[in-house]
């Protein structure tokens, strides 16, 4: 009867997927529903397992904890009493209905580029959702970030409202991709480092930043998360499916794909891939300073790491890191060779799954290895980054997240 197991697994997957697909298809009839998904409003404003858009999700940052507000149409605790104009001013000007400034945890520095008609469509969609009465907690921020009175000064120094400007020298697909990446998708909010004042650095050589303990790599660097050199088809598939070849979205980015990017139309996915693939390939500033190992320390790490790999990893990833049907190749893997090993360390220690999407409905997961000490984990990572032609620098235990 073992032949029934694959069939049952497929049936269960379809049973879980089909209602979701049907719900998505029903929502797809409205432009507002589509734009709300691409802007990933639910990613911050819907706590896991809670009511849609009810707010209250804790967003950890270097400045303290932000709590996403309720954007359901409840008139008292949400945005039910807001006008279209007030909603536009919030997203394009960073201004609350009472005239006070919004914290840039709301990505209005990106949303300022979104067309007013698209913002109106998002507002109409949110207003059509069930109203949820939920008074969200106040932000818990360190001094001086807790002083809301300083926000107008911040906006004067670091925020420039302005509409998206098409580049006539580029084609319509590139311009659509730029609009989605720079505006609705607000990709730079995570993938470009913020300075001590909380402003996103516009320097293309700036690295990414830490998000929920993971590293959001730079989109300007092909050795990090850049799509330079990828085919448009492969890049678009990565955006929508969360997996393309040996590349998989993990951690917070898996959530973004599940909540948002998997719902991209094929045309918009290709447009984003076109824009991202055309970004100049830059060498970014170091996002982490790796401690140097002596020759003896590196040799010991390589020997210990090889033993750990043979015991725990080779059955799935292959004796020479070549990969199998169940696990990606590690030889030549960008995540393994990344200048910042944070994500590799988190994947090994905590495990995880790529997102379940229509393009990848049965993702293979990575089991966690919490039993590894910091020293063992560093040795394993050093071995992975120094074997089979990989050129990643060795990693010390002190560099682990």
Question: What letters, b where the CB count within 10 A reaches 16 and e where it falls short, cover 280-316?
Answer: eebebeebeebeebeeeebeebbebbbebbeebbeeb
The per-residue pLDDT of the chain, averaged, comes to: 91
- Give percent of the chain with pLDDT exceeding 90: 86
Whose tokens are 């409205």? That residue is 30
Cα distances (Å, whole numbers) of residue 294 to 74, 228, 291, 360: 61, 35, 10, 43
Nearest Cα to Cα of residue 395 among 328, 350, 349, 353:
349
Q: What distance in Å separates the CA atoms of residue 382 and residue 146, rounded to the nearest whole number?
A: 41
Q: Rounded to an integer, what distance in angstroms lies between the CA atom of residue 67 and that of residue 74?
A: 17
What backbone torsions phi and psi does residue 75 show, to the nearest 5 degrees?
-70, -20
Coil, helix or strand for 11? helix
pLDDT digit string, tens, across residues 335-362: 999 999 999 999 999 999 999 999 999 8
Task: Determine the Cα–Cα distance for residues 373 and 336; give it in Å rounded to an integer.
Answer: 19
Cα distance between residue 152 and residue 276, in whole Å: 32
Angle 103-105-110 from CA coordinates, rounded to 5°: 100
pLDDT reported for residue 48: 87
pLDDT one-digit tens code per residue, 91-132: 999 999 999 999 999 999 999 999 999 999 999 999 999 999
Cα–Cα distances in Å, from 397 out to 41, 236, 261, 366, 386?
37, 36, 35, 22, 16
- In this predicted structure, the answer to whether residue 71 has a pLDDT above a threshold of 60 is yes
Closest C-alpha among 300, 268, 302 to residue 381: 302
pLDDT-wise least confident of 42-46, 158-162, 198-202, 217-221: 198-202
Distance CA 230, CA 246 (A): 13
Please give the average per-residue pLDDT across 248-263, as a whole number. Answer: 96
Counted residue by residue, the chain has a size of 401
pLDDT(396) > 80: yes
Q: pLDDT (tens digit, 9 = 90+) per residue, 287-319?
A: 999 999 999 999 999 999 999 999 999 999 999
How do residues 189-210 score in pLDDT, each as one tens digit? 999 999 988 899 988 899 999 9
Q: What is the pLDDT of residues 88-100, one digit of tens each?
A: 999 999 999 999 9
* pLDDT at position 23 over 50: no
Q: Is 202 exposed, middle or buried (0-12, 13-18, 19+ CB in 10 A)?
A: exposed
> What's the token pair of residue 73?
């149409």
Distance CA 83, CA 54 (A): 18
Determine what percent of the chain is predicted with pLDDT higher than 70.
93
Whole-number pLDDT of residue 126: 97
* Residue 65: per-residue pLDDT: 96
215 forms bridges with which residues in the sheet? Answer: 210
Among 271, 55, 90, 285, which residue's Cα sits nearest to residue 182?
Answer: 271
Instruction: Give the integer Cα–Cα distance in Å for 39 and 111.
Output: 9
Q: Is residue 33 within 8 Å of residue 40, measured between CB atoms?
A: no
Q: Concatenate the DSSP letters of all residues of 41-102 into one string.
A: HHHHHS-TTS-TT----EEEETTEEEEPPP-SS-TTTSSTT--HHHHHHHHHH-B-TTSPBP
User: At 256, is the secondary structure helix, strand, or coil?
Assistant: helix
Beta strands in 196-294 (DSSP E): 209-211, 214-216, 243-244, 247-248
Q: pLDDT confidence of 234, banded at 50, 70, 90?
A: very high
Domains and CATH numbers, the chain: 31-158 (no CATH), 172-278 (1.10.760), 295-399 (1.10.760.10)
Alpha carbons within 13 angstroms on the beta-carbon side of residue 100 total: 8
Contacts of 138 (CB under 8 A, 6+ apart): 67
**82 Cβ contact partners less than 8 Å away, ≥ 6 residues apart:** 90, 97, 123
């Amino acid at each position: 009867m073992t032949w029934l197991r694959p069939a049952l697994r497929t049936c269960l997957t379809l049973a879980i997927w089909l209602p979701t697909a049907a719900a998505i298809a029903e929502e797809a009839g409205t432009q507002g529903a589509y734009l709300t998904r691409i802007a990933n409003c639910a990613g911050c404003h819907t706590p896991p397992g809670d009511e849609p858009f009810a707010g209250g999700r804790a967003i950890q940052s270097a400045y303290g904890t932000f709590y996403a507000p309720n954007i359901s149409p409840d008139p008292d605790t949400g945005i039910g009493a807001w006008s279209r104009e007030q909603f536009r001013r919030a997203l394009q000007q960073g201004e609350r209905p009472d005239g006070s400034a919004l914290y840039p945890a709301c990505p209005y520095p990106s949303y300022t580029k979104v067309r007013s008609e698209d913002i109106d469509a998002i507002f109409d969609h949110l207003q059509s959702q069930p109203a949820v009465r939920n008074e969200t907690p106040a932000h818990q921020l360190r001094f001086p970030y807790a002083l809301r009175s300083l926000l107008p000064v911040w906006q004067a120094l670091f925020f420039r409202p302005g509409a998206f400007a098409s580049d006539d020298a580029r084609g319509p697909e590139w311009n659509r991709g730029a609009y989605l990446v720079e505006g609705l998708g607000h990709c730079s909010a995570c993938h470009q480092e913020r300075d001590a004042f909380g402003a996103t650095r516009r320097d293309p050589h700036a690295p990414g930043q830490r998000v929920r303990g993971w590293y959001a790599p730079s989109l300007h660097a092909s050795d990090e998360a850049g799509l330079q050199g990828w085919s448009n088809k492969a890049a678009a598939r990565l955006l929508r499916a969360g997996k393309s070849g040996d590349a998989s979205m993990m951690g917070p980015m898996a959530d973004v794909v599940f909540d948002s990017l998997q719902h991209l139309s094929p045309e918009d996915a290709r447009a984003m891939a076109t824009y991202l693939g055309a970004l100049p390939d830059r060498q970014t500033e170091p996002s982490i300073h790796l401690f140097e190992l002596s020759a003896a320390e590196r040799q010991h790490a390589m020997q210990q790491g090889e033993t750990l790999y043979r015991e725990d990893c080779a059955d799935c990833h292959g004796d020479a890191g070549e990969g199998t049907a169940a696990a990606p190749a590690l030889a030549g893997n960008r995540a393994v060779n990344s200048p910042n090993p944070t994500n590799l360390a988190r994947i090994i220690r905590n495990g995880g799954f790529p997102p379940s999407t229509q393009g990848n409905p049965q993702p293979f997961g990575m089991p966690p290895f919490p039993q590894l000490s910091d020293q063992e984990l560093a040795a394993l990572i050093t071995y992975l980054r120094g074997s089979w032609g990989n050129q990643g620098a060795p990693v010390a235990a002190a560099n682990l997240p």
